[in-house]
Every structure is written in C-alpha cells, then in structure tokens.
C-alpha cells in the first residue's frame, strides 16, 4: 500500500513539472493561436493541423488518468500513525478528522523558549594557593579537631593548611594528597571525623618539641624528631602516671597535661629522700632559692625553691627536678635568685619600703614594676654594685645594711609600679624595657611557625611570647596559652581598648585552647600564627579577635 502511494505521488510531481515546462514554452497558447488564425483566414490546412494536435493531447490525458492506480485509503488508526510521522518529521501539529483518509495540517505553534541550562557543579578540589571563603571554614574545622593551632582564619589555602589537611587525611584513612576534594571535605565536616593525634611513625619539629618536654619530665633520653617505639613507651608511661586515657598517642588532653605545672614526672620529686636530693638542695641554697638547711628530704620548701628556680630560669615551673632542670641547675648558666620585673608580694613590698626610706622610690605597691626596677638600678650604681635592676643576694645584703647610701636625687615616681589604662609606659635606659621587648619581637618577624616551638627560629604562639620575654630580661617560665589565663603576678588588663605597647594579650578558644600575642600599640599585635605559618603583625580589632579576647597582662 505504501509503495503504491509513493508511485502515485512521484507521477503527479513529474506531470506538474512537464506541464510547467510546456506552459513556459507557450505550447498550448501557440496551438490555440494557430487554430484561431486558421479560422480567420479560413485556411483549412492550419485549422486541421491545430485541431488534430489538440485531439491527440486530449486522448493522451484521458488514457493517462484511466491507467493510473486507484488512490489508496486508510483506516483512522493508519491515518493517525501517518499524521504522527508527518508531524514528527515536519515539527508541525496534525489534526485527524473523523473521516478516514482526510488529514488537516495546522500551522506549527510559536516555539517556547528553552529554559536556561543549569551548570553542572564543579567538583571540589581546593589545593595550595587557592583563595576563597571556603578556606576559612576548612581552617576553623581543622582547628577544632586539633590539626591546626588556633589563629584567625584566612581565605588563603597556604602550606600550613595543606599540611594540616594531609595530617587529617592520614589520621582518617583517606588518600593523602593535601587537596580538599569532596570526599575529604565530607569527612572533615562529619561528626565521625577523628581528632589530631601524634602517634608512632610521625616526625617533624612538632614531634621533637614534644620529646623535649618528655625528656624534661624524665620519660625519654633523647629528642630525635621521630615518633618511634621509645616515644610510644614514654607517652604510655606519662599517661599512666597522670591518670589519662592510655593509648600511647599525644592528643589535646595529653599535650595540655604535658606542658602543665601539674604534670607528674618520672623524676626526682616531692617525698623523695636521698643524697641526690641533698646535692640539688645545696645548689639551690647557694643560688639563694632555698632558705632552709639541705637535709636530703624533698619537702614543701624544696618544691617551692625548685619552682622559683625554674620560673626565673625560663623553665616550666612544675617543681620537679627532671633532666633539663637538673642540667641547668648544676651548670654555670644557672641564674641566682633575685627579685625582678613582674613579681609581687610581701618581699617585694619590704624591698620597696627600704628603697623609699633611702629616697630611691616614692611609693610602695607590692608590685615589682619599672619604677622599682629603676630605683634598684639607681641604688646599685650609688652603692657600687652590678646595675641589673634585680634584687639578688648581694643587693639585698647591702640594701638592708647600715652602710647603704641614700639617694642623691628625687625618688622615682612615674606610675610604672601601678600600671593603669591611662598611665604612660615607662622605659628603662637599659636592661628589660618595653622597647627592648618590641625590638626582640620584631627581629623574629617572619620566623616559621612550628607547634611547640620556643625559638630562636621556630615558634608557636606561647613559645614566641616566652622567648621574647626572656630575651628582653623578663625571667618568665614557659606557659601554654591556657596557663596564661590564670597568671597572678602581672597587672591584669580587662579590655582591648585599654591595651598599650608591650602588653601580653590572651585569647580563649574552647575549653583548653587559646592564643597569646604581644601588643604593639595602635590596635596591632605581633604573634606566631598557624594560618599564615609564621610570626606576623595583624590587627586585634577584628570581629574574630574581639570575640575570643580573654584578658591581657601589663609587664612594664
């Protein structure tokens, strides 16, 4: 049926083409014109020829129509199928009439504009050098999990962030490439994300810093920077002695206890009675830290003497004689007991009263500030002593002797011993001073950030403050950012708006984490930060620092 239909259609097309060519050539018109001319001239020859040709044409057309095959008919279903096919091919709408064999083709509708295609999301693949708001979110999460130390987040995916991501990937069983792809991102933000733990197989500066502290507490012999089986055994024993969860790895709680004054060492400590203890006591007595006769019994007075020695010699004041304390105590580098900047108490008040009586100091506060230091220097120069501004054994002896010389000028009084928000900073001509502290801090600008680093070329935030204070002449034991929250020997400053140059700023992030920095004035501070991976200067008036500010301390 379909074949016959196709033949019919092709024949009609050919007939139409032939007719058009015949018409364009003027065939029929010429025949009729000749026929008419013949009639006018009554020329039988023209009339006969023209009529004969017309009769032949009529016969041919009649035979053609008679011999054509019949026009096929189709059912309604066939018509519908044909209509659908035509509509699909021509992109037109076809209406099927109830009468079989009839098609009604309607004009195509106005095309509806296609919707704007939604772009396929680009797979996440944040790598070193990328900059965008997603980086801040990633850094904050890494800080919460302990893979980065707390600092103001940035939008730059730098080397410290990449290193933290690699540690996270390794700890959480992911492919370690330092790239935050979708898998890493989902794992990082998941509630099942594992916290940072330094464990066997790890190596680096942060591992070495932890080993140094384990050695100080007597748990390990050497610090190699590699976390091997010896370090695992040392950490396990430390956790047992300090009633921590025992897993042989250093996580946030173990690390905080490790640097705490409450850490229980594997060293000479309270309650021990031996000749070794007596030897340490004799040295402490000679340096002016122990006031009772050495007897070999490690009692409360010995604990107090050891803590004071550690504090004034830049160690963690835990009251235990570990390898580091022992080595320094018995060396020629051991600093003798002396009152110095930042100390307060009855003994300080007694010294101030004596200085006031001799005309070197105007007021008594009980706080050893820059006024007292300047007064001591003046007394030492006047009495031919070494002028270091500290009240050691020799200075104390001369100060309270009958031969002590009175001041030759007006006593010192500039507010340095009663620091307030409105008083101006007092600088000493030499030795410890605000200028000296800032100078030392600025000299370390750009130094690399390493967790647990205490200088001279690598630091974390608390290690940076510890280093600068001690280099400036302030004998301050090492304290973590958490321990800095509860300092009592320095004047406290409770508002960011009241800060001035040289103040130590303390920030709190979470229960046991935080950050410390040194104020430079004009709303800026210098600190060692994990996000940029170095010692740098920034404003402390950002929303982040305002939100996390805890307190500050005035040293001078």
Point out the residues that are catalytic: 461, 515, 527
Q: How many CA atoms lie within 13 A of 295 on its CB side?
A: 10
Q: How far apart are CA 470 and CA 441, in angstroms?
A: 11
Closest alpha carbon to 338 in 375, 301, 365, 376: 376
Closest alpha carbon to 198 in 17, 438, 451: 451
- Close Cβ partners of 200 (under 8 Å, ≥ 6 residues apart): 227, 228, 229, 231, 232, 248, 249
Decide if 181 contacts 130 (C-beta within 8 A). Answer: no
Burial of 57 (0-12, 13-18, 19+ CB in 10 A): middle
- What number of other Cβ atoms are within 10 A of residue 315's Cβ? 20
What single DSSP character describes residue 30? H
Q: How far apart are CA 123 and CA 135, in angstroms?
A: 16
Q: How far apart are CA 553 and CA 550, in angstroms?
A: 11
Between the alpha carbon of residue 477 and those of residues 164, 311, 316, 483, the distances in Å are 29, 4, 5, 11
Closest alpha carbon to 368 in 467, 438, 468, 473: 473
The three state secondary structure string of 176-194 is: CCCCEEHHHHHHHHCCCCC
**207: its two tokens:** 């591992």
Decide if 311 contacts 475 (C-beta within 8 A). Answer: yes
Decide if 220 contacts 211 (C-beta within 8 A). Answer: yes
């Amino acid at each position: 049926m379909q074949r016959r239909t196709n033949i019919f259609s092709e024949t009609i097309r050919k007939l139409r083409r032939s007719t058009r060519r015949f018409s364009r050539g003027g065939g029929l018109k010429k025949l009729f014109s000749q026929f008419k001319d013949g009639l006018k001239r009554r020329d039988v020859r023209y009339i006969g020829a023209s009529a004969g040709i017309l009769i032949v044409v009529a016969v041919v057309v009649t035979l053609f129509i008679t011999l054509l095959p019949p026009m096929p008919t189709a059912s309604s279903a066939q018509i519908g199928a044909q209509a659908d096919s035509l509509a699909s091919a021509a992109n037109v709408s076809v209406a099927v009439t109830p009468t079989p064999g009839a098609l009604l083709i309607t004009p195509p509708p106005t095309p509806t504009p296609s919707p704007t295609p939604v772009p396929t999301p680009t797979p996440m693949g944040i790598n070193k050098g990328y900059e965008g708001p997603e980086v801040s979110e990633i850094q904050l999460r890494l800080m919460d999990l302990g893979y980065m130390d707390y600092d103001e987040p940035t939008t730059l995916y730098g080397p410290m962030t990449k290193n933290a991501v690699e540690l996270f990937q390794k700890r959480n069983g992911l492919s370690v490439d330092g790239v935050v792809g979708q898998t890493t991102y989902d794992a990082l933000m998941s509630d099942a994300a594992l916290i940072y733990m330094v464990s066997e197989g790890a190596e680096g500066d942060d591992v070495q810093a932890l080993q140094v502290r384990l050695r100080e507490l007597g748990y390990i012999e050497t610090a190699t920077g590699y976390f091997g089986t010896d370090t695992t055994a040392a950490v396990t024993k430390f956790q047992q002695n300090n009633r921590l969860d025992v897993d042989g790895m250093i996580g946030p709680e173990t690390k905080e206890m490790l640097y705490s004054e409450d850490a229980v060492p594997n060293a000479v400590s309270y309650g021990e009675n031996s000749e070794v203890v007596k030897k340490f006591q004799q040295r402490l007595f000679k340096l002016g830290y122990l006031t009772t006769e050495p007897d070999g019994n490690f009692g409360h007075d010995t604990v107090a003497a050891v803590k004071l020695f550690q504090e004034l010699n830049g160690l963690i004041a835990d009251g235990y004689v570990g390898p580091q304390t022992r080595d320094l105590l018995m060396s020629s580098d051991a600093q003798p007991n002396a009152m110095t900047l930042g100390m307060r108490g009855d003994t300080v008040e007694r010294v101030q009263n004596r200085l006031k009586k001799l005309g070197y100091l105007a007021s008594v506060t009980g706080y050893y500030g820059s006024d007292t230091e300047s007064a001591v220097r003046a007394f030492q120069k006047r009495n031919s002593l070494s002028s270091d501004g500290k009240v050691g054994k020799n200075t104390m002896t001369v100060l309270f002797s009958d031969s002590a010389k009175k001041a030759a000028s007006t006593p010192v009084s500039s507010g340095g011993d009663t620091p307030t928000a409105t008083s101006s900073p007092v600088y000493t001509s030499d030795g410890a001073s605000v200028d000296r502290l800032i100078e030392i801090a600025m000299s370390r600008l750009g130094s690399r950030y390493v967790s647990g680093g205490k200088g001279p070329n690598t630091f974390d935030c608390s290690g940076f403050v510890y280093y600068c204070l001690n280099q400036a002449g302030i004998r301050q034991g090492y304290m973590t950012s958490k321990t800095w929250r509860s300092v009592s020997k320095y004047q406290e400053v409770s508002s960011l708006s009241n800060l001035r140059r040289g103040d130590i700023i303390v920030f709190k992030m979470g229960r046991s984490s935080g950050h410390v920095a040194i104020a430079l004035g004009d709303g800026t501070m210098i600190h060692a930060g994990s996000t940029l991976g170095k010692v740098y200067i920034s404003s402390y008036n950002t929303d982040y620092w305002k939100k996390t500010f805890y307190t500050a301390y005035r040293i001078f």
